[in-house]
Structure 1
Amino acid sequence: MSRRCELTGKGPMVGNNSSHANNKTRRRYLPNLNDVTLQSETLNRGIKLRITAAALRSVDHRGGLDAFLAKAKDDELSTSALKVKKEIAKAQAAAA
């Protein structure tokens, strides 16, 4: 399982540990990933995703998973999130 957010595409970054003597060693900064189940109002079911805490706040800010995916760029989304986005768009088109 990759350490990458399924909604924002945020992944590990690299940098240096800096000791008190200012010695530098390489390290990785990992994203704060959480396994969550987000509810889709259009599909009336939960969708399991592995997303960062920042992405979870963004989903809440935009008004839910459906609204977030509608505005999200396709190249940032994972394959499973892209499938859900297309399912939601299809269901919304059928309902309208």
Structure 2
Amino acid sequence: MSRVCELTGKGPMTGNNVSHANNKTKRRFLPNLNDVTLISDTLGRSFKLRVSASALRTVDHRGGLDAFLAKASDAELSDKALKIKKDIEKAQAAA
């Protein structure tokens, strides 16, 4: 399973561990990913996603999954999240 947020595209970063003697060794900074179930108000169903903690806060701040996906750019969304976004847009256009 890849270590990438499905909503923001946030992934691992690299850097250095720096000791007191200023020795540098490579390390990875991994995103804080959580398996969550988010509910779409428009579609009336839930979706399981692997989302970073910061993205989860942003979803709450914007008022839910539908509002978040409406504002999110397609480039940073995963294939699964992109399909959800298209389904929501179709349902809103039909209503």
Asked if these proteins are the same fold (TM beyond 0.5), I'd say: yes
The amino acid across from 2:28 in the alignment is R
1:67 equivalent in structure 2: 67
- Partners of 2:78 and 2:65 lie apart in 1 by 14
1:48 and 2:48 correspond: yes
Write the letter of the residue equivalent to 1:79: D
- Residue 3 of structure 2 aligns with which residue? 3
**Displacement after TM superposition at 1:20 (Å):** 1.6
Mapped to 1, the partners of 2:51 and 2:72 lie a distance apart of 14
CA distance in 1, matches of 2:63, 2:36: 16
Residue type at the aligned position of 1:49: L
Distance in 1 (alpha carbons) for counterparts of 2:69 and 2:47: 12
What SS class does the counterpart of residue 8 from structure 1 fall into? Answer: coil
Alpha-carbon distance between aligned partners in 1 of 2:90 and 2:50, rounded to the nearest angstrom? 23
Separation in 2, partners of 1:51, 1:20: 35
- When the two chains are superposed, the root-mean-square deviation of aligned CA atoms in Å is 0.5
Matches within 5 A, 1:1-96: 1-95=1-95
The TM-score with structure 2 as length reference comes to 0.98
Percent of residue pairs bearing the same amino acid type: 78
Paired AA for residue 18 in structure 2: S
Which residue identity does 1:32 align to in structure 2? N
- Following superposition, the deviation at residue 21 of structure 1 comes to 1.4
Does the residue aligned with 2:94 lie in a helix, a strand or coil? helix
- d(CA) in 1 for partners of 2:62, 2:47: 17
TM-score with structure 1 setting the length = 0.97
Residue identity in the other structure for 1:80: K
